Amino acid sequence: MLAFYQNILYNFFISLGVMIGGCLFGGIAATFNGHPPLKTMLDLCEKIKIWAIIVALGGTFPSFKVLEIGIFNGEIRGLVKQVIYILSALLGAHIGYRLIYYLESSGPL
């Protein structure tokens, strides 16, 4: 049971880290290339959100396999666990997106 809660936290923080790290380093690259960093960061947030979720889940095939077994073989417990893992990763990616979005909107007054 402890591993279940640990995996929820891992999924959340991995997807959050992918979002924030990817967008921040993308903003640095945009600065070096002469593009507006905050606009580039927002564009990257929209593009890498799904990838942050996939990275947190460890790829798509194990997740789909668990979903398939849960749906077709009636193993509801595994299905519920996988849905919670997906929601945790989705929440982490969304919070990362919102943090970058708030960073952009907190410009000079």
Say if CB 96 and CB 18 are below 8 A apart: yes
Provide the pLDDT for residue 10. Answer: 92
| Banded model confidence at residue 105, pLDDT cuts 50, 70, 90 | confident
Measured in whole angstroms, how far is the alpha carbon of residue 38 from the centre of its chain? 19
Provide the pLDDT for residue 108. Answer: 57
Measured in whole angstroms, how far is the alpha carbon of residue 100 from the centre of its chain? 13
Domain that holds residue 65: 2-105
Alpha-carbon radius of gyration of the chain = 17
pTM of the model: 0.83
Residue scoring higher pLDDT (106 or 102): 102
Provide the pLDDT for residue 29. Answer: 96
Q: Tokens 């936290």 map to which residue?
A: 9
What is the C-alpha separation between 25 and 27, in angstroms, rounded? 5
Please tell me the total count of domains within the chain: 1
pLDDT digits (tens, 9 = 90+) for 42-97: 999 989 999 998 888 886 667 677 777 777 777 778 788 888 999 999 999 999 99
